[in-house]
Chains A and B, each alone.
Chain A
């Protein structure tokens, strides 16, 4: 992707806001035009009053000054007109200034609105494969920082560049009406000035970067020190930490001062160029006036013109900087916005038939996050509707990968998966996904109320149904103990929950979804055994009439399953009922034995003390409050 093509792609973002862009540009043209005219008008007025000899002779022929001002004498009329026009211009200029400000913000905000919307939507639909590849932090950075770079550039590229050209052009035209020589002289320093600013920008860049590095290091030393305050205090290394900090602070200060020195050298030079060109122009104007080729007021016009031109040119370096970062950012945005969805929907995709019970069939499925290294090899099994399947195996065997294929988070490289007899790839995602509810290993809750989190999959459900799901997940009691019950805010600023509580909310969320297929990926890992027991009891109601996949470590959980799949190294090594597998030699019998005799070494379950915590605060089972299947 060349920079030129990237640039063209970037400018495409302006397409939906063409109208606003035109408005903003016209405002700019109008503003600069009025500004130039105002400068001219001031000059005219000064010129008029500088012709004292003419005025004195006119004054002599009228009675008093005021009589002269309102008389029909030529100079008086001219002066009157000029001041009135000036006032008019200034009023107009103010109005246009306001309109310009608002139209620019409207343009930029609207453009950003569409861009953000596009990125947001893209990230929601692009699929897990993309998210596996690019970290969350990076994506957030792209959606915020990179987008801002592109926005800044587009705004600057379109408007500031335009403004620079307009201003320089406008004043040069104004000066041309006065004298081509003066106009040429005014333009003369422009290339020197621009060159010097650009060169300085390039020279100062590495130093600015080094200052920023020192600053980052400064922050990270502080952060690490504070986050690790226990270690610092326990090992009594405060003095070493202070030395480390001060060493970096000195380096940081040195770089800051180096940068300051550059600016201290740059600012006077740039001002020297400005002063030199001002003085040259004044000199030229003086000479022209002496020769009678210019008027006194033109001094003011020249001053205003040079001032505006040089001020505008200072922005050249900013544009260059913004261009550099926008190109880098645009490349990253391109990668996001142009990423193909990893699980594309077919145009002729169909809905899941409403009467299906949720039977699942894996036919010779092979899948790998990296196609070269399959995580699942030749997986085939069939689950009748409403059955419960337990998947066991060591960490990294591919258990979570297997269940993630059911919701079509990924497409297998080989083989196919059928739900109620239909290949997942022929289904509409909007019809498939609500029918497969997950409780993930790592619980993610949103900063919203407890209620909104439980009804996440069915946003319009509130009240009784939410509570019923929470009860089944053994979450109701602790929710009621929260400061605002179901309306308690969760997340950064809200209540913090323990791992077990979060997991129970995730279970309630899945229950409320009322899916055909329920997937529990090690759902009760962080829950203590007694609560686990209660959840299992509640789940028995929920699992009725649904196909359920359970990834679990505890044999007690697995026992009741209709089918146990033992997964090792991406292959199914054993399959059958608990009793059958116990009779066979293999992984299953091994872990069962290990758990039986209390040596947890073979099993990667969380440690037991976790589960020993809080036995006395466990909610008592309330069978009277257990909702029945119909209520859900």
Chain B
């Protein structure tokens, strides 16, 4: 109880809204977007291949709706019939209906229109009406099943077409897209944003059609029952629609606040568990609990606010629905009693029931427009992704690169991830087949960019990169990459076995090939030492492997691919001595007879290189072999001395 009171108190204080640390930044995606026709058209165009299924489902579904809506008519007939029997009045038009006339003809000795009808005959008549009703209901249920099957089949097919299309498009996008878009964002494009479209793709069209039909039929039936009765409640419809929409919007906002508040609670909790060692060491438990409880009180307050809003909304819905019912009951009663409603008491009940049919779709439309707005926001993001053009793609006249020797030339290359801020300025160098080039320099000097450009992850703004004399901008990416190998600092593995990972670059390689490659490279024993040898699962993104093991697997993968040009971004993190020695020796074998570029972090690697390029602020400031550069006494010599001094 005290918590609840604290929450209420908090709500009062929060009136002078205090900003939250980290709450700004607007990192969350837009959740709502106005419904616009071009977007709808584009969404609908995706349904086009399945148009016949949608059409069929729609027709069957609408028949189902109509059959289901016949219920009140049957009920009216039963009620009017039994009332007429009870009061022995067979002269009113209330019982002169198609159903009752048909039934009375079927039941012998009922003597329709005669006051002395037998009780058993009357019962038989009721049974007959019920049977008729049951037949209609059964038909309706069968059609419902068909509708569900057809609509979901078509809708889910569209959903999965979109999924596949988005994934395939992602494969075409350039590295620059991945640089500027966070992983989480891309994943929500592929998952939640597409799931959000489900509402439109599967049931959207059907709902709009079925609800419109329901409103039309219910209104029509109300009108047919009695036009005055219809007018007495129809004015409630727009009122309900507007109220519903307003409340939905406000509740959307309230839930957003709840979500944000809860995120703060869960983030605090997660952080505290992750950093529990620091928490313990600095004895912060009590302070932290205080902070946490403050967030909890806020969370409680937000929830109570949202609940109050929701409660008020439910209350208004309840009341407006009951206002209609009471009006129908009272006014219908008046009409009935004052003799202005010849269709009998059953008609009042029928109106009573159609009122629900009339009102529910109006509420549903309000909710749907909200969902639609959410789907629109998702659709906009998905379409934006599909509309993104890759910066680097094969030119129309691109030719496949023939088998190469591995001669690489940088010809006055200038490049920047942002064209206005180049990270490489007018870089030129040459690497002969089989040569090892070490790239040395500080973080951010442009070493990794050189590697990325050779791999054609990006397009230079100026200059050319030639491989065996071919400008790589004019060859197909596929043929280029097939002859290249790359091992990055983050030794990336895919979920699966070691074997699968090594074969990744050459899926056609047999297990024997893999084993031979591992033996040649000297990584065989290390892999066999794993729990299940080559069949060991590496875990998600290789999490089950140590850093050193991952690196060895990546080396073997690159070795099996047998590229002419090999690029390595050497890992900076340390591994134990035995593995380090193994890595060095296998690296040596891996480099043999290949043109190699290494972003180097280890002195031994640098000293081994045929050519060292010292990069500083995007320019090559020194180049040559280890000895040459040392004797130069420049920046490289400086770096070298610093290292030597430190280790002594």
Contacts and interface: CB of A to CB of B under 8 A. Distances in A.
B531 interface: no
A437 B281 contact: yes
Nearest to B157: A253
A613 interface: yes
Contacts of B576: 395, 604
Contact of B273 (A101, A140, A268): A140
A409 to B, nearest CB: 7
B134 interface: yes
Contact of B574 (A98, A106, A222, A605): A605
Given A109-B300, A120-B269, A260 B149 contact: yes
A121 B315 contact: no
A193 interface: no
Contacts of B293: 113, 117
A245 interface: yes
A89 B543 CA distance: 63
Contacts of A611: 642-643, 646
A609 interface: yes
21 contacts: A42-B329, A46-B345, A55-B337, A90-B326, A91-B319, A97-B311, A101-B311, A140-B266, A140-B273, A222-B186, A224-B540, A229-B175, A231-B488, A235-B481, A260-B152, A275-B141, A434-B282, A440-B278, A513-B282, A607-B601, A609-B440
A457 B163 CA distance: 49
Interface in B602-648: 602-603, 639, 642-644, 646-648
Given A52-B345, A124-B285, A612-B643, A97 B315 contact: yes
Contact of B86 (A136, A265, A271, A289): A289
Contacts of B477: 236
Contacts of B494: 224, 228, 231
Given A49-B337, A290-B86, A143 B191 contact: no
B289 A45 contact: no
Contacts of B330: 83
Given A55-B337, A456-B284, A267 B145 contact: yes
B529 interface: no
Interface in B279-315: 279-285, 287-289, 292-293, 296-297, 299-300, 303-304, 306-308, 310-312, 314-315
Contacts of B122: 290
Contacts of A494: 22
Interface string A358-398: 00000000000000000000000000000000000001000
Contacts of A303: 75
A236 B319 CA distance: 64
B16 to A, nearest CB: 22
B572 interface: yes
Nearest to B346: A296
With most chain A CB atoms within 10 A of its CB, the pick from B86, B282, B484 is B282
B175 A90 contact: no
B137 A234 contact: no
Contact of A59 (B126, B299, B337, B486): B337
A233 B454 CA distance: 12
B18 interface: no
B191 A222 contact: yes
Nearest to A448: B21
Nearest to A123: B273
A219 B308 CA distance: 37
B357 interface: no
A243 to B, nearest CB: 10
A224 B543 CA distance: 12
B513 interface: no
Contacts, number: 422
Interface in B478-494: 478, 480-482, 484-486, 488, 492, 494
A366 to B, nearest CB: 23
A136 B647 contact: no
B573 interface: yes
A87 B324 CA distance: 11
Interface string A11-54: 00000010110000000000000000000001001101110110
The 5 closest A-B pairs by CB, nearest first: A236-B481, A101-B311, A609-B601, A234-B486, A105-B307
Contact of A444 (B168, B274, B481): B274
A339 interface: no
With most chain A CB atoms within 10 A of its CB, the pick from B138, B280, B505 is B280
Given A45-B329, A260-B148, A279-B134, A456 B282 contact: yes
Interface string B147-159: 0110011001100
Given A144-B269, A287-B126, A227 B157 contact: no
Given A52-B337, A94-B318, A123 B276 contact: yes
A139 interface: yes
A342 to B, nearest CB: 11
A97 B167 contact: no
A113 B300 contact: yes
Contacts of A230: 175, 457, 486, 488, 492
Contacts of B644: 598
B75 A596 contact: no
A296 B333 contact: no
B123 A290 contact: yes
B54 to A, nearest CB: 16
